[in-house]
Amino acid sequence: MTSRSRPRRIGDWATLGLAILIVIFGLIFVGGGGYLLSLGGSPYYLICGIVLLASGGLMAMGRLLGAYLFLLAWAATLVWTIYEAGFDWWGWLPRLFGPTLIAILVVLSLPVLRRQDTVRPVSRGAV
Amino acid sequence: MRKPALLTATILGGMISASMAFAQIPPSNSTPGEETTTAATAHNAGAGRFGGPAPSAPQAPGVNAANLPDISEIGINEVPAAVPQIDATPAREDWPAYGRDSSQNRYSPLDQLTPENVGQLKRAFVYHTGSKPGPGQANKWAAETTPIKVGNSLYMCSAMNDMMRIDAATGKEIWRHDAGVKYHSIPYTAACKGVTYYTSSTVPEGQACHTRIMEATLDMRLIQVDAETGKPCEGFGFGGQVNLMQGMGESVPGFVSMTTPPPVINGIVVVNHEVLDGQRRWAPSGVIRGYDAESGKFVWAWDVNNPDDHHQPEPGKFYSRGTPNSWAAMTGDNELGLVYVPTGNSAADYYSAMRTDKENAVSSSIVAIDVKTGEPRWVFQTAHKDVWDYDIGSQATKFDYHHEDGTVTPALLVPTKRGQTFVLDRATGKPLPEFPVVEKPAPASTMSDDPRSPTQPWSTAFPRLAFPDLKESDMWGMSPIDQLYCRIMFRKARYVGEFTPPALDKPNIEYPGYNGGSDWGSMAYDPESGIVIANWNSTPMYDQLITRKKADALGLKPIDNPSYNPAGGGAEGNGAQADTPYGIVVTPFWNHYTGMMCNKPPYGMIEAIDIKTKKVLWSRPLGTARANGPWNMPTGLPLNIGTPNNGGSVVTKGGLVFVAAATDNQIRAIDIRTGKDVWSDVLPGGGQANPMTYEVNGKQYVAIMAGGHHFMMTPVSDQLVVYALPDTADQKH
């Protein structure tokens, strides 16, 4: 059973790739968002970036919580979009279109993460 | 000064996959000026005179393009009494002047085409002007041409000033006059907005040159040919030509040029010219001149820094240099004996400390000049001490304003790049009481050597053609990443709303941008309904003054410098501003990675305004995303995003607005009652020109020059596309 903690199916690889992508976004958000905040701009990107780093990191470790964190960030982004752009469709495009595509992938990864997460205690027990 | 247009790329985005958007790679070099170009060999004449201005230096070879002798001067009393011109009272089916008639309102009384039948409009013919970039020539083309129509003929010019007469019903060329303009004479853009139809006061009907076609050329000539045959009018100037570089002093080809049809007012043809932006403080003069339309002889000059001397400069002397130039189409007024001149900035647009008080009094203004004397009768300024390139690109429109008490005032409608529209009394230049102008406080300069005007004028009653000031949350992109990039750019710049001054320490956002608001497309006005049709841009610019050292490092040199590189500093972008302490860096406020504008759409709008109620009847984005997208890729999407646009509209009695202008390369007909598209067609090139309409043999035609525009990055073509209803379709007349 020890090999189970290593990704070996396509779903596992895809989930790991998604997690890495989210970590990259998180890094860009934290870096750019921190700079933006230092210039007096919106704190959204820095805060969201930290959540994305946590989300991607947890997902890479096979933790379901990572996916839930992303979906939480997505939901918060929806609220933030309404706050900043109202219901102007053009304002929704940059804020929500890409993140929604990723959110769909995250939802698709839920079964994989659920399986990875349930085997984790067994793996731990074996250590 | 000159500014056609801008911006490619604005648009659409989310349709691209998010991962693509996230995978942006920084460009290797975002500074301008690395592109190699052809041109420029002509500028290599005369090294060693670039330490400063040398106004008495001789003009470089080729500046007097046709090697014409100097023209002599005559007094106003020697000008023959003018006969009525056809544009004063055009026949219903004609379009004899750039803006149709001498009021320049772009209104046609034709009504065969209606919202009900315009959907059946089809191409009647296509005429090729033959002017487009040759092999190895950089694309500087933007024909911007509007034909005129008199009798059964269209008269027009090509982007390189060849003139032609075309059968208005078939598109067959009747004659063509080769102007012989050379590539090196193209300033920033090869454009010819139109020709002037002139009826002679001395040549009897039936003789050659009784009616004449006149144009002003890129290489500063005024040319007249016989309207019937296209042969030069020998009685005008020297063999039908006048050299307008006379008295201009040192210059090189392409520095000074003309792109608009010169108006004739009471026998005086008035000429203005573009001086290439951003080159040097002591660029050639922006002088306005009047000539005898009959003989081509000089009558008067209005030289801003020599306001009391209306004569030609004596040998060895020159018109005052660096003064505000005027490149937009002028409007004539026979009744008041005035020409309304839309002026631009003094040379070196973004630095004002070296300008004289006389220049500051008349820049970015409408100046009404008495055509008998060359003396300004009144001046109305639309931006004080302009450092934003808010020169007036639009042609002013004359109209009669009907007050509530039943009285009528001859009025002038003045659109601006700021999106402020001023409505003036033509006799006095004062705003009409119904359209007050308020001086509001404006931001102070951070450049201690270059203070700004404490106030700027606002036309508070006329609907503003602009969106509210930008906010960080207005930043846009395809993804959160490029939106974040634009937010950082926004926060890095200084921006305190309109009139944020340029500075050395940080960039400033210029919004409205120098493409307007309203630019050279001007406005259309229906005098019967009192409805104004206005199309405008929402395209901010990102400017910054740079030290001379930095300008040198960027390779910014003026056009008359032997090492001038046209790609390094043209009229629309970065400029050397030689003779001043600073150069200027100007780009659209866009994402350098994707080429998309940083602000959210729409980027271009069209709206209808009722001049009586001052209410906006409808307002909508102009142009779809079909030919635009990130990385300049066409998306093919019919989304009505509203693109940057250049070129105006036509309004007809049939209840239609015809407009192209947008970067989606379409011409469309809009129902004036609803603002909705009722017809459109994809053009063979960009439709950056003013359309026109006319009737021949009972059939109404709509014509548009699909010449494209290099700066708008729309495809170049040499095609005039003309539409009409098929013979089988419903025609009311």
Composition of chain B by helix, strand, coil, percent to 5: 5, 30, 65
- Counted across chains A and B, CB pairs separated by less than 8 A come out at 78
Residue with tokens 């839930």: A68
Q: Is the pLDDT of residue B77 over 60?
A: yes
**Can B308 be counted among the known catalytic residues?**
no
Within-domain flag for A123: no
C-alpha span between B686 and B128 (Å, rounded)? 15
Q: Which residues contact B66 (CB under 8 A, 6 or more apart)?
A: B180, B221, B241, B243
C-alpha span between B535 and B543 (Å, rounded)? 24
C-alpha span between B459 and B382 (Å, rounded)? 9
Average pLDDT over residues B597-614: 97
Instruction: Tell me the nearest-neighbour CA distance from B647 into chain A, angstroms.
Output: 26
Chain A partners within 8 Å of B605 (Cβ): none
Within-domain flag for A53: yes
For residue B145, report the phi and psi dihedrals to the nearest 5 degrees: -85, 140
Q: Is the pLDDT of residue B636 over 70?
A: yes
Instruction: Tell me the nearest-neighbour CA distance from B458 into chain A, angstroms.
Output: 28
Residue A33: closest C-alpha in chain B: B484
Instruction: Answer yes or no: do B18 and A28 touch at CB < 8 A.
Output: no
pLDDT (tens digit, 9 = 90+) per residue, B507-523? 999 999 999 899 999 99
pLDDT (tens digit, 9 = 90+) per residue, B31-53? 333 333 333 333 333 333 333 44
CB B4 within 8 A of CB B711: yes
What is the average pLDDT value for chain B, to the nearest integer? 91
Within-domain flag for A100: yes
CB B676 within 8 A of CB B670: yes
Q: Is B697 exposed, middle or buried (0-12, 13-18, 19+ CB in 10 A)?
A: exposed
Q: What is the reported pLDDT for B62?
A: 85
Beta strand B699-705 with B719-724 is antiparallel
Peptide bond between residue B517 and the one before it cis (omega within 30 degrees of 0): yes
Average pLDDT over residues A66-88: 97
C-alpha span between B351 and B348 (Å, rounded)? 6
Q: What is the reported pLDDT for B198?
A: 98
Instruction: Answer yes or no: do A93 and B21 touch at CB < 8 A.
Output: no
Q: Tell me how far apart the terminal alpha carbons of chain A are, to the nearest angstrom.
A: 11
CA distances from B229 to A109, B222, B225 (A): 78, 18, 8
At residue B57 the predicted structure's pLDDT band, cuts being 50, 70 and 90, is: low
In 3-state terms, what secondary structure has residue B608? Answer: strand
With a pLDDT cut of 90, the percent of chain B lying above it is 84
pLDDT (tens digit, 9 = 90+) per residue, B209-251? 999 999 999 999 999 999 999 999 999 999 999 999 999 999 9
Residue with tokens 């203070």: B451
**Of B94, B333, B389, B718, which residue is the catalytic one?**
B389
Q: Choose among A40, A91, A98: nearest Cβ to B480.
A: A98
Within-domain flag for A120: no
- In one-letter notation, the amino acid at residue B661 is A
Within-domain flag for A65: yes
Number of structural domains (chain A) is: 1
Within-domain flag for A122: no
Instruction: Tell me the nearest-neighbour CA distance from A68 into chain B, angstroms.
Output: 20
Average pLDDT over residues B395-403: 98
C-alpha span between A69 and B136 (Å, rounded)? 57
Q: What is the reported pLDDT for B572?
A: 60
Nearest Cα to B717, choosing from B685, B689, B687, B691? B685
Within-domain flag for A18: yes
Beta strand B163-167 with B173-177 is antiparallel
C-alpha span between B422 and B414 (Å, rounded)? 5
Q: Is the pLDDT of residue B469 over 60?
A: yes
Q: Please state the pTM of the whole predicted model.
A: 0.92
Within-domain flag for A125: no
Q: What is the reported pLDDT for B256?
A: 96
With a pLDDT cut of 70, the percent of chain A lying above it is 87
Provide the domain limits for residue A20.
Answer: 7-114
Q: Is the pLDDT of residue B363 over 50?
A: yes
CB B243 within 8 A of CB B268: no
Q: Which residues contact B323 (CB under 8 A, 6 or more apart)?
A: B285, B286, B287, B303, B304, B305, B346, B347, B359
C-alpha span between A59 and A52 (Å, rounded)? 10
